[in-house]
Structures are given as structure tokens and as C-alpha cells.
Structure 1
Amino acid sequence: MSEPLRDLLNAPGVAAVFDAIVKDGDEAWLVGGCVRNALLGEAPSDIDVATQAEPETVMARAEEAGLKAVPTGVEHGTVTLVVDHTPIEVTTLRRDVETDGRRAVVAFSRDVVEDAARRDFTMNALYVNQQAALHDPVGGLADLEARRVRFIGDAATRIREDYLRTLRYFRFYGWYGHGAPDRDAIKAIVANKAGLASLSAERVWAELKKILLAPHVTRSLLWMRQTGVYQAALPESGDMDGFARFMRLEEATGVYPDPLLRLMALLPAQASERVKALATRLKLSGAERDRLTAAMETDAALDSLVLSEPKPLRTALYQHGERAIRDVLILQAARALDADPEQNLPEGEADRVTRMWNLADTWTKPSLPVSGKDLMARGIPSGPQLGTALKVMEGAWVASDFSMTRDELLAVLKT
């Protein structure tokens, strides 16, 4: 157990931060996701440090040690120290004074137990000091080893402190949970799901994307539906059968998990109005909105047979673009599968989809070998006649699977 923790302490910048702030009776600990991941044998995410030193003291000691200190959240006790371009968040131990379901008023503390009591899940309240000693004030290690996602203390109280914790629960369950979810957590989630309405769209969408990336996303979504959270968070979605088919194909083809593509698999086919409503409600970025819209429009325009062979696939790529075709390719293929999860995929289907996906992924849009200048040089005047002639050229070129040369295309003009 101590070896991964020692490795964590050797992560870039960690020793320098401890050396700077552990003095004059103030202790410090690595805490949260980095400790959790290290114990699971996974790469640590962001490095977080908890300390008894207050923010002003942390900043003064960091500057004395030659470290850059950024006051990223001093009112909540957080200072970001930058060591060789590596940011490490250092937060003073805290206790909650007041919460409203979205934000908390905190007071600084010197007690790790008080700090742990305000965190969300037991597996996120594991503390490691500079000597690699693990401090576990709320039984998080046993829960982590059992892959049990459990709220600290009373689950309903934790949720009412920040209603986003309902979605965070299903995110952690999808990433780290095994077996059935914690019964107390599910009861508290059902009793408090109305609080989701108080959250900002940005926070909800950010959490949904993390849920959609989880290795066990289907299990999380099923429990979200069971509790009513799924319907509250994604009212535009369709049935789960389509998503289960998509996940079977994603696994068989090795397509890299993509939260936006998985979201598309949750939406009914060609439901453009629902997509617009979802994009507006969750305040999706312009790029996210454009990708969803393009996929829906392309899906409506193309029959699945169009994407089954290389030549028509290349035509579709030229007309609709690589990103939309890749999305629609796997969505349509998944839709055609048997809904029974016990049924194997048709023989060769995963290989076929993989080949088509790879073709789309590596495809580069070619340029029409003739231009308006070429046609004008042959006596076609600028204007509608020129545009029509270019379209004829382009149609012949696309029909040839982009193989016709400039001279061959100009010969079409003569005929």
C-alpha cells in the first residue's frame, strides 16, 4: 500500500510544495482524487494538498521558497502553487458554516476530521502526509477496496449541501463502483432529486460529460433512470435500448469513448427539435451544438446502406464532412443491431464498421481539379452558366469516385 503512495509523493512538484509549507507546526497532506487513484494503481489526476496553514501563510511561504503562488480561491482557502509549470492546489483545512445547495460559507480549521466531514464520498477523504502515512478519518480505504461509493455521514445532508453531488454520485459509481449502489445513497438521491433544478446548466453539463465518459456508463445511467435523475437531467433523451446497442458496438469496434457521441446515442434518431432544446437548456458550446446538429442532419439525409461500402462512403464524406459521417456511421450501425443484449453481433459487423470508421477517420477531402478560370478560358461566361457547368463537372467527378482528371472533366464539357 505504501509504494504507490511514495510514488505519488515523488510526482512533479509535490516535494517542493511540502518543503515550502510544512513548517512552524503546520502539517500538510495529499488528499482526494490523487490519493484515490494512486491506491487503485491508476495515474493520479490533479494533485491537491490540504494544509493547516492559512492561505496568506501558504502564499508567503511559497514565495519565500521561490514558488509562484496564485490566489485562485483565497476566500475558500485555495492557493495554486506552480512548480516547474506544474500547478498544485493547496487548500486550508475547512469546515462548513453555511450551505445553500450550491455554495458553502467555510471557516478554516486545523482538524483533518472536520475537513473530511465536509467532503462528498469516503473514497475522496483519504489523506497522505509527507512520510507516506495514510490518514483515513471516515473509512474511505475499506470503501475504496470494496469499490463502494458511499457518502460521508448522512447522505441526504451531503446532497443538500450541494445538489450537484447527486450527479457526482453517479459519475463516481460509473468510474469506481462495483455491485449495487449504496442503499442509503439511493434513498437520499430520490428524496432530494428536485434540488437538481437549482443548479446552473454549465455545472450539470460538465458533470454529465464526466458520467458519459465513465467505463460503466450504462450501469450509472440505468440507476439514474431508476431514481428519476436521468429524466430530470436529460429529458430530451430516448429509450435506453438504443444506447445499450451503441455501447455493444462501441466495445466491439474499439471506438474511443466520446461523451458527445454517447449523448447522441441517447437521443432519438433525427430528433432535431430535441437536440436544439437540449443544446439551449444545457448551454452547450458552439462547437458541441454544431456537431450535434450536423450529425442529426446527416443522419436524416443518409440511408444506412449508403455508409456500408467504401465508394458511397467517400461520396458521403465529401458531401457531409468527416466528423458528421463518423458519428452517423456508428449510430446507424448500432441502430440496426438486435435489441437483445444476449445476441452476438452479426458475423463480420464489427470489422466492417471498424473499416468504414478508419476510412472516414483518415479521409482527406480532395479538391475539384477544374476551376472557374478553366471554364471561362473555354468560353463559358461568368455567372449562372458558369456555376451550372461547375456543378456538372463536380457531379461527374464525384460519381467517378474522385478519379477523373482535369482533362477528362474538360472533355465532359465539350460533349
Structure 2
Amino acid sequence: MRPITSILHAISLVKLCPKFYSAMAKQTVKEDILNMPELKLLSDLFSQRGYLLRLAGGAVRDILLNIQPNDYDLASDATPDKMIEILSNKENIRLITTPSGERHGTVAALINGSKMFEITTLRIDKITDGRHAEVEFIQDWKLDALRRDFTINSIFMELDGSIIDYFNGQKDLSDGVIRFVGNPVERIKEDYLRIMRYFRFYSRFGHQDHEKETVKALADNIDGLSSISGERIWSEMKKTLVQRNCDKVIPLLFDINVASYMGFYTETKPMDLEEFFKVHKNVWSMSTSFEPITLFSSLIRSPEEQISLISRLKMSNFEKETSFHIITNRNDEYNLSLHNLKKQLVLTSKSNQKVYHRYTLELLKYKGLQDIYNDLADWNIPTFPLRGDKIGPKMKRRQLISQVMSELKSIWADNQFEMTEQELINEMDRLIEKYNSIN
């Protein structure tokens, strides 16, 4: 008879991931990965030289949830020099190394031109400054697990499928608990970016209340974020925002003042999050994915605050312009009609129409306007039938050509883009006569 704790453990995993029942029955992802011939090749090469090779970190975590990992991360007791010896000059293996990777014990192997594996030597962080670490290679698997950020990322898997779990990461994963390995203050001080990583992993895997010890450790070390680049903070934030449960961590982010280290004004309080919760509901009600900046824009209250955030987080031009577009238009209900949105698109210069179309679609996701989104997403912007050179020769004041062109496009849009070329020429002549009569 199986112990009751094992049964409860299995039930909790089913609650965490609805697909886990099929994983218990078939172990599809696990079997697929462990049976990969490329992994078998690596295992044989390392074992022939007397070294161990195990799946590690996020790969194991995802396998336990029957999720296909994005990356195949492996750990070994072989040093980087030994790994290079093992993998060099092997048929169908392309060895990839960098000086930085070797210093931190990591080499990569591309096998058969398709499967990439990153293999890292067991190590400890000997000297850290909250951003970078000087590492020491070791032979102790538990010490390597201890240096990792969260218990759910500290699990190893043998290539026969058995689990090595020194810090109860498997239980925390099934319980939805995001817990630092060992002392949370020590883990945070090793790399202050782990503050942001906590929000990301909680939004993806957490479903218990935040542990008081964890929250205190985060809050007490928040100043460490001042030493972390805006790009790295924004990268973690974006990964958080695309998780459905990010609404469970954003209030904490403001409660413990992470927000001010991102560029938000310090007077921002959790009570200001009503717009965020509304937009969170909107974007997840849509039938399509959204850009992280779309949901993030709901947290921005003014153009001045937006400039502060753009400067600190080093956003891309697309993110910056999307946010500007959303903030400028989110309260303009009149111009959010399908007709007026189409009109704005045709009035935009042809070179900018494609990107303006993207900005507008993100605005519609922000507002949760599914029907208008469907119409506009599939709409092929029509080409205006007249060229500016038809206007120029007839105009006395050439600086008014663009004005006439805009008015013509507006009339064309108001007529559902169905006017013939001759009808537009007639309107053009009327407008030219009007403007030529002005002294």
C-alpha cells in the first residue's frame, strides 16, 4: 500500500497542473527527453570517462510538471577542461565555448545540428557582489544545489529518471510554494536580481500566500536593486507580466517599494492599482496574446512617470511608442470606434502604418475590445487612390498640399473607402478652389 503522504503529494500536483494526470499515467515529456539519442550520447561520453551527468534546474522543474523545457540544462562533476576534452572532435557534436562561460563552468554542445545542451560544472559562488560571482568548482552535488535561487530550481534528475532533491523542491513545486534555498537573505545578497526573479516564479508557479520570512528578506534587501541594470530588471518584469497570476505579485511589488527602483514615482501606492486589475482582466479575456508593455502601461499614471520608467528600464522603441500610444488614447472612447480607428490608420503616413497598426491592436487588448480587435486585426489597409503630385500643380500655396491630402483621406474614410478616383478628383478640385481663394 502506498503511504498517504505520497497520495496527497500526487493530488497536489494534479491541482497545480491539470495536465499532470496524464504525466502520471504516461510521463510523456519525461520519457521523450530521457529517450533522446542525443542525451544518451552525452551520457555515454561522460560515463566512459568516469563522470556523472544529470539534468538540472528549470529543466527538471518543467519535466515534473509535464511541460516541455525551453532549455536542456545539465550539471556534471567534470571540470570545464575535462568537458572540452570529452566533447572535442566528436562526430555530430559542435562544441561551443566562451571565456565567460568557461570561467563559470559552462560549455554548450550542439548535437546533430538541432539539439543544444548546456552543461555546467558543479560549483559554489566563492565571492559575490550582488551582481557577479567568482566561482569555485566542486564535487559536491548538495553544495551546488545550495547555491541555486529557489528550491523548485534546485532539483537534479538522473538520466534514468530518478530524482535527487536536497531541499524538498519537489514538494514546494507541488504545493505552489516559492522558497529560497537555505537562508533567503544570503541567496538575495548573492544576486539582487533574485528579488525580481521571485516575482516571476511566484506568478508562474505560486499559489500559496507569500511566506513572511521571504517577504521580510525581500523588503530588507530592496536597496540592492539600485546596483542592477534597468535592462535586467525589465527583462524579469516582462516575464512576470505575461503570467496569468501576475496580479498576485504586483501589489507586493509596490508594498515593499520595488516600484521606486524601477522608475515609478515613490508616491505610488497599492490603492492606485485599480486600472491594473481591470486591464489584467481585459488582456486575459482576449483570444490572442499581448505584449508585456500593454499590461505594464496600466501601472503608469502620467507622461512624466512614463519618461522616468523608460529611462530606468531602457525600453525598446516599440515598447516606448506602444506605451505612449496606450496612455494617450486609453480614455478617448470616441476614437476607439472601428470607423475612427481605421480613419486614423489611413491618415498615418504609409511608412508608419504597419507599426501604428500594431500599437492600435495593443490598445484594443488593453481595453478588452475583442470584436473591434477582430475586425481591425484582419483589415488590410487600403491604398489611397490619389497621389500628391495630382494636387501640387493646381495649388497656389504648396505648403497646403499635405492639408488637402489629409482632408481628402478623411472624406474617403467617411465614405467607407469606396469613392472612385474621379469622385476623389472632384473633391480635390473643390478643396483646391477653397484654399486658393484664401489670401
Report the TM-score when normalising by structure 1: 0.87
Are the equivalent residues in 2 in contact too, given 1:17–1:81 (CA < 8 A)? no
CA–CA distance in structure 1, aligned partners of residues 365 and 174 of structure 2: 36
Are the equivalent residues in 2 in contact too, given 1:26–1:51 (CA < 8 A)? yes
Alpha-carbon deviation of 1:149?
A: 0.8
Name 1:322's counterpart in structure 2: 357
Name 1:50's counterpart in structure 2: 75
Are the equivalent residues in 1 in contact too, given 2:263–2:313 (CA < 8 A)? no
Name 2:316's counterpart in structure 1: 285
Alpha-carbon deviation of 1:413?
A: 3.2
Q: In the alignment, residue 162 of structure 2 is paired with which amino acid?
A: A
Name 1:187's counterpart in structure 2: 216
Kindly report which structure 2 residues correspond to 1:102-121, keeping only aligned pairs within 5 A, or say none: 102-121=131-150
CA–CA distance in structure 2, aligned partners of residues 201 and 223 of structure 1: 19
2:126 is paired with a residue of what secondary structure? strand
Q: Which ranges of structure 1 fall in alignment gaps of 5 or more residues?
A: 334-349
1:13 is paired with a residue of what secondary structure? helix
Alpha-carbon deviation of 1:176?
A: 0.2
Answer yes or no: is 1:367 the counterpart of 2:383.
Answer: yes
Answer yes or no: is 1:249 the counterpart of 2:282.
Answer: yes
Q: In the alignment, residue 356 of structure 1 is paired with which amino acid?
A: I
Name 1:261's counterpart in structure 2: 294
Q: In the alignment, residue 97 of structure 2 is paired with which amino acid?
A: P
Q: In the alignment, residue 187 of structure 1 is paired with which amino acid?
A: K
1:264 is paired with a residue of what secondary structure? helix
Alpha-carbon deviation of 1:381?
A: 7.0
Answer yes or no: is 1:141 the counterpart of 2:166.
Answer: no
Answer yes or no: is 1:74 the counterpart of 2:107.
Answer: no
Answer yes or no: is 1:85 the counterpart of 2:114.
Answer: yes
Report the TM-score when normalising by structure 2: 0.83
CA–CA distance in structure 2, aligned partners of residues 376 and 266 of structure 1: 47
2:304 is paired with a residue of what secondary structure? helix
Residues 310-364 of structure 1, C-alpha deviation per residue, up to 9 Å, x if partnerless?
3223113334631222233344x3xxxxxxxxxxxxxxxx6xx211111222223
Q: Which of 305, 308, 314 matches 1:274?
A: 305
Q: Which ranges of structure 2 fall in alignment gaps of 5 or more residues?
A: 1-23, 349-355, 431-439
Name 2:20's counterpart in structure 1: none
Name 1:400's counterpart in structure 2: 415
Are the equivalent residues in 2 in contact too, given 1:316–1:325 (CA < 8 A)? no
Answer yes or no: is 1:100 the counterpart of 2:129.
Answer: yes
CA–CA distance in structure 2, aligned partners of residues 104 and 414 of structure 1: 72
Answer yes or no: is 1:32 the counterpart of 2:57.
Answer: yes
Alpha-carbon deviation of 1:155?
A: 0.7
Q: How many residues align?
A: 390
CA–CA distance in structure 1, aligned partners of residues 96 and 198 of structure 2: 30
Answer yes or no: is 1:354 the counterpart of 2:370.
Answer: yes
Name 2:242's counterpart in structure 1: 213
Q: In the alignment, residue 220 of structure 1 is paired with which amino acid?
A: V
Are the equivalent residues in 1 in contact too, given 2:155–2:166 (CA < 8 A)? yes
CA–CA distance in structure 2, aligned partners of residues 36 and 46 of structure 1: 11
Name 1:129's counterpart in structure 2: 158
1:11 and 1:37, CA in 2 relative to 1: closer, same or farther beyond 3 A?
farther
CA–CA distance in structure 2, aligned partners of residues 385 and 228 of structure 1: 52
2:134 is paired with a residue of what secondary structure? strand
1:12 and 1:167, CA in 2 relative to 1: closer, same or farther beyond 3 A?
farther
Are the equivalent residues in 1 in contact too, given 2:263–2:305 (CA < 8 A)? no
1:22 is paired with a residue of what secondary structure? helix
Instruction: Identify which range, 239-248 or 8-17, moves more after superposition.
Output: 8-17
CA–CA distance in structure 2, aligned partners of residues 22 and 411 of structure 1: 83
CA–CA distance in structure 1, aligned partners of residues 286 and 407 of structure 2: 38
Q: Which of 41, 50, 60 matches 2:66?
A: 41
Alpha-carbon deviation of 1:372?
A: 2.9
Q: Which of 256, 273, 276 matches 1:240?
A: 273
